[in-house]
Copies of this chain bind each other. A is one copy, B any other.
Amino acid sequence: MLEKTMRMNYLYDFYQALLTPKQRSYMSLYYLDDYSLGEIAQQYEVSRQAVYDNIKRTEAMLEEYEKKLSLFQKFQKRKQLMNQLKDYVLQKYGEDKQLFDMIKELEELE
C-alpha cells in the first residue's frame, strides 16, 4: 500500500497538469494530505462512492499517461545514473567544486 501511495504521488507530480481541477483536488487531498474518502466526500458534499470512483478513474488515467510517456520511469533511470556520476566525481574529483555544481544544476532540472 505504501508503495502504491508513493507511485501515485510521483505519477501525480508528473501528470497533474493533464488532469481536471476536480481530479487534482481529490487526488491531492487523498494522496498528499492523507484525507479519507469520507472526509473528502463531506467537504465536497458528494457521496463517498462518487469520490472513490473519481479517484479510481484518475489513477487509471495516470497509469495510462505513464504507459504512453514513461516520465516516471525515465526519471528513475536518470536519477540512478546521476547518483553514480555524483559518487564517481566526489570520490575522484572531490576538490572540483565547479564540476560538482554543474552536475547539481543538471540534477535539479527535473
Contact = CB atoms under 8 A, between A and B. Distances in A.
Given A88-B99, A99-B88, A69 B18 contact: yes
A78 B105 CA distance: 9
Interface string A70-105: 010010011001101100110011001011001101
A2 interface: no
A109 B68 contact: no
A18 B103 contact: no
A81 B85 CA distance: 15
A109 B75 CA distance: 10
A110 B96 CA distance: 27
B69 A17 contact: yes
B69 A109 contact: no
A1 interface: no
A106 interface: yes
Kindly name the residue among A18, A71, A89, A106 whose own CB sees the greatest number of chain B CB atoms within 10 A.
A106
A78 B93 CA distance: 23
Those 6 A-B pairs whose CB atoms lie nearest each other, nearest first: A17-B68, A81-B106, A85-B102, A78-B109, A81-B105, A18-B68
